[in-house]
Structure 1
Amino acid sequence: MHVDRLREQTKAFADAVAGLDPDVQVPSCPEWSVRVLVGHIGQAHRWAAEIIRTGAPAGFPDPREARPGPDWRRWLSDGVEEMADALAKAGDGPVWTFVGPQPTSFWLRRMVNDTAVHYVDVAITAGKGYELAEDLAVDAIEEGLELLALPGAEQMKPALAELRGDGQTLRIIPEGRSGWLITRTPQGIACSRASADADVTMSGTAQDIVLVSYGRLTLGDVTVTGNRDLIVHWLEHAKL
């Protein structure tokens, strides 16, 4: 993944937020106003840049205390360029992440996908249409599954312990792709690229699947076949 994708998603976010009342609540992030969501995006990019520069953990700043000034677009762009500079200087060596040491590209991927989902949030708030590129949406699905299946993920998100099982299976199939098979084991979840039958299957466009997975859409926006209770339980405990 190239840093241009982060520039692209941040520009889409800035375009969608333009003209919004800073104090209006974001329906899909009801605890945050537009101002706070802008603060989150700009601070997250700078926070990731600091981790990339030092390789060490850094305390995440409170987005309610962000001071982006009057030119939000410039402030957001500056955060991306700070991260781009850190990536260029650091290479792809291991740095701290919340799931253990990972290459610096972990943070680029994480920031791209986080920014993309929040672009949808502000587009919804503004009553504007939105569109995620198919390859971006597919990667966001895959990244989410990889994070949930990593050793130690339950320490990051204790609710994942509820997804242990004794062999129950789920398939996620974006249109035109083979998708993923998720197996619930006593040790946790295991994910693989597979086309085997499963107890429940969720299918639809990659964009709709990722937005359902992040709680921005509902199961009514995708097709579910098989044990619906199993996918409902998955979504309740697997949200990032």
Structure 2
Amino acid sequence: MDWLPPERYAAELEAETARFATAVSALPANRVVPTCPEWTVKDLVNHVGTGHRYAALIIKTDQMQPYEVITAPADQTAWLADGARELNEAVEERGFHERVWTWQPRHLIAGFWLRRMVHDLVVHRFDADPSGDLATDLAADGVADTLGTFEMFDRLSGEGETLRFVASDTGRAWHVTRTKPGIEWGERPGAAAEVTVTAPARDLVLILNRRMRPSAVEGERAVWESWWEGSRF
């Protein structure tokens, strides 16, 4: 398990929550979010704050829970901060590496929820403020986290098609093979693929999460377009 240290996720959760709160506070609550047009800014806030509380509840109870969206109060900044703090406290109390229920059978630990919520939050912070930046190591971890999420997407299964995602600023590369059960992936910088997408690590996170189209795609265009369509959350 090649993840960042647990304390890094805890720090990033609170820091990213603060950045997100600043970004959404500058926008009208009823504005449609261009990168996820089915939501308004208020919906985005509710989603983030609910997600942190939902993850904390699962960690505390060690079982799947009904998901119900919570509406943020007037002081949404404090509410968002409280949700991040609640999740961090739940992970600390349980133990980052302690077993809990998750939807990813390869990572049945409390830390899975913290890592997943950090990267979900990063993407939604860019929804609110597309001009933001992201540390390269956190961005690379976000690429891996997203590919791990895609393992659960049946619609990304295939007949052996291969793709490579290359971080131009770090040299790291992730190789993906679409198989009948689902995708297989890992860091294999020298492996050949039918499609290669090259971008800075920050942009790869946004590309994989369909927040931006890549400017550099080499190889079989049909394979790439099939991946793009199948990667809808």
Same-fold status (TM-score > 0.5): yes
Q: Which runs of 4+ in 1 moved over 6 A?
A: none
Q: CA deviation at 1:142?
A: 0.6
State whether structure 2 residue 206 is matched by structure 1 residue 211: yes
Q: CA deviation at 1:184?
A: 2.2
Q: CA deviation at 1:123?
A: 1.0
Q: CA deviation at 1:13?
A: 0.3
Q: Provide the secondary structure at the position in 2 that maps to 1:181.
A: strand
**CA distance, structure 2, for counterparts of residue 111 and residue 177 of structure 1:** 26
The equivalent residue for 2:161 is 168
RMSD value, Cα? 1.5
Q: Provide the secondary structure at the position in 1 that maps to 2:228.
A: helix
Q: Provide the secondary structure at the position in 1 that maps to 2:129.
A: helix
**CA distance, structure 2, for counterparts of residue 41 and residue 185 of structure 1:** 32
Aligned equivalent of 1:90, options 94, 108, 114: 94
Q: Indicate if the aligned counterparts of 1:170 and 1:199 stay in contact, CA closer than 8 A.
A: yes
State whether structure 2 residue 61 is matched by structure 1 residue 54: yes
**CA distance, structure 1, for counterparts of residue 203 and residue 75 of structure 2:** 32
Percentage of pairs with the same residue:
36
Q: Indicate if the aligned counterparts of 1:213 and 1:239 stay in contact, CA closer than 8 A.
A: no
**CA distance, structure 2, for counterparts of residue 104 and residue 204 of structure 1:** 31
**CA distance, structure 2, for counterparts of residue 84 and residue 210 of structure 1:** 23
Q: Indicate if the aligned counterparts of 1:174 and 1:206 stay in contact, CA closer than 8 A.
A: yes
Q: Aligned pair in 2 of structure 1 residues 196, 39: CA closer, same or farther (>3 Å)?
A: same
Q: CA deviation at 1:215?
A: 0.9
- What letter matches 2:141 in structure 1? D
Q: CA deviation at 1:136?
A: 1.5
The equivalent residue for 2:148 is 146
Farther off after superposition, 168-177 or 71-80: 168-177
State whether structure 2 residue 22 is matched by structure 1 residue 15: yes
The equivalent residue for 1:102 is 108
Q: Aligned pair in 2 of structure 1 residues 158, 196: CA closer, same or farther (>3 Å)?
A: closer
Q: CA deviation at 1:87?
A: 0.9
Within 5 Å, give how 1:110-189 maps onto structure 2: 110-124=116-130, 129-149=131-151, 153=152, 157-160=153-156, 163-165=157-159, 167-175=160-168, 176-189=170-183
Select the structure that is richer in strand: 1
Q: CA deviation at 1:239?
A: 3.5
- What letter matches 2:206 in structure 1? L
Aligned equivalent of 1:201, options 192, 196, 204: 196
**CA distance, structure 1, for counterparts of residue 100 and residue 199 of structure 2:** 35
**CA distance, structure 2, for counterparts of residue 185 and residue 41 of structure 1:** 32
The equivalent residue for 1:26 is 33
Q: Indicate if the aligned counterparts of 1:45 and 1:111 stay in contact, CA closer than 8 A.
A: yes
State whether structure 2 residue 76 is matched by structure 1 residue 81: no
Q: Provide the secondary structure at the position in 2 that maps to 1:25.
A: coil
Q: TM-score, normalised by structure 2?
A: 0.90
The equivalent residue for 2:222 is 229
Structure 2 gap ranges (5+): 1-5
Equivalent residues, number: 222
Q: Indicate if the aligned counterparts of 2:154 and 2:182 stay in contact, CA closer than 8 A.
A: no
Q: Provide the secondary structure at the position in 1 that maps to 2:29.
A: coil
> Cα deviation per residue 1:55-98 (whole Å; 9 max; x = unaligned)?
11111112xxx332221111000001111111111112111112
Q: Indicate if the aligned counterparts of 2:16 and 2:122 stay in contact, CA closer than 8 A.
A: yes
**CA distance, structure 2, for counterparts of residue 179 and residue 235 of structure 1:** 18
